[in-house]
């Protein structure tokens, strides 16, 4: 499927902004892609070529197995996983560090699997809603690791009509739990990261997070500018430790 999306990216100019948002949604799957032979590649923009090169670079350092998992955590650490999917990242973080993990997954087929998987582990809490900038309901289109609140007509979906899911204000959740510090938050929520991060910055809660592992998504023409604006705000309280643009990046709180 990822090869099909890549072919669509290279051949359909009008759909590229929407298809790229799906192409970069890797869920908890490893990022392993084979470069096409140069003579078979169709002309694509310099920006898209740069992004494909970033994927190669990410694969080269085995980012899924290294950068996304290597943190200074222990049994007292608190980790938040926003966009739990199948729970693989949460499981690995907990297995490595015995950290407490809060998983937020609004799509019930995914939530049910994660909840069942961790039901006997008191240090992994699973919640049947997502986190965002406000309390609301959204339509979610299920398609495995292509699931999104953005419906893309060229990509097969398990749930073509969409399902209403619940989103809760992250500021309210954090304040209700009275967290003093959160060691790590992972964000992979198909474009919802923009509003969520803006909310944390607005409410001056961003400094509570020691590390922010973020996957930004290029969902529209404003995504790049919006991402850079958020990064400028993050730089006031955090320092970038790695960055593969629109793949994964991490920000660590400065003293």
Two tokens, residue 107: 């799509």
How high is the pLDDT of residue 49? 85
d(C-alpha 192, C-alpha 171), whole Å? 14
Whether the CB-CB separation of 103 and 127 falls below 8 Å is answered with yes
How high is the pLDDT of residue 183? 99
Two tokens, residue 41: 């590649």
Average pLDDT for the chain: 84
Nearest Cα neighbor of 128 from 113, 143, 141 is 113
Whether the CB-CB separation of 71 and 99 falls below 8 Å is answered with no
How high is the pLDDT of residue 141? 81
The model carries a pTM of: 0.80
Two tokens, residue 33: 């892609």
Task: Please list the ranges in the chain whose pLDDT falls under 70.
Answer: 1-42, 142-160
Whether the CB-CB separation of 37 and 158 falls below 8 Å is answered with no
- Say if residue 70 is exposed, middle or buried (CB neighbours under 10 Å; 0-12, 13-18, 19+): exposed
Which residues contact residue 246 at a Cβ distance below 8 angstroms, ignoring those fewer than 6 apart?
A: 20, 24, 51, 54, 215, 216, 217, 218
pLDDT tens, residue by residue, 61-79:
999 999 999 999 999 999 9
Whether the CB-CB separation of 68 and 44 falls below 8 Å is answered with no
d(C-alpha 113, C-alpha 35), whole Å? 33
How high is the pLDDT of residue 239? 99
How high is the pLDDT of residue 27? 43
Strand partners, 103: 81, 126
Two tokens, residue 76: 């007292």
Which residues contact residue 28 at a Cβ distance below 8 angstroms, ignoring those fewer than 6 apart?
A: 85, 86, 87, 88, 89, 145
d(C-alpha 189, C-alpha 105), whole Å? 9
pLDDT tens, residue by residue, 222-243:
999 999 999 999 999 999 999 9
pLDDT tens, residue by residue, 144-166:
544 445 443 344 445 557 899 99
Whether the CB-CB separation of 87 and 125 falls below 8 Å is answered with no
* C-alpha dihedral (8, 10, 13, 15), degrees to nearest 10: 30
Ordered domains of the chain (ranges, CATH): 1-131+174-255 (3.40.50.150)
């Amino acid at each position: 499927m990822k090869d099909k999306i890549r072919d669509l990216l290279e051949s359909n100019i009008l759909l590229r902004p929407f298809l790229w948002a799906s192409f970069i949604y890797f869920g908890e799957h490893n990022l392993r892609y084979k470069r096409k032979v140069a003579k078979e590649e169709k002309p694509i923009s310099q920006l898209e070529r740069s992004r494909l090169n970033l994927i190669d670079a990410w694969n080269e350092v085995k980012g899924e197995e290294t950068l996304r998992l290597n943190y200074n955590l222990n049994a007292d650490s608190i980790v938040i996983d926003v966009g739990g999917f199948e729970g693989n990242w949460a499981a690995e973080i907990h297995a490595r560090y015995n950290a407490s993990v809060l998983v937020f997954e609004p799509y019930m087929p995914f939530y049910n699997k994660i909840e069942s998987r961790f039901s006997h582990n008191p240090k992994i809490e699973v919640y049947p809603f997502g986190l965002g900038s406000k309390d609301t309901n959204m339509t979610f289109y299920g398609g495995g690791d292509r699931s999104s609140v953005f419906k893309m007509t060229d990509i097969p979906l398990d749930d073509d009509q969409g399902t209403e899911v619940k989103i809760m204000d992250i500021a309210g959740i954090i304040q209700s739990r009275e967290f003093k510090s959160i060691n790590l938050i992972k964000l992979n929520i198909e474009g919802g990261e923009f509003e969520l991060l803006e909310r944390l910055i607005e409410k001056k809660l961003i400094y509570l997070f020691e590390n922010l592992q973020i996957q930004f998504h290029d969902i529209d023409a404003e995504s790049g500018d919006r991402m850079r604006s958020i990064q400028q705000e993050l730089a006031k309280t955090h320092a970038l430790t790695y960055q593969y643009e629109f793949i994964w990046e991490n920000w660590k709180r400065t003293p």
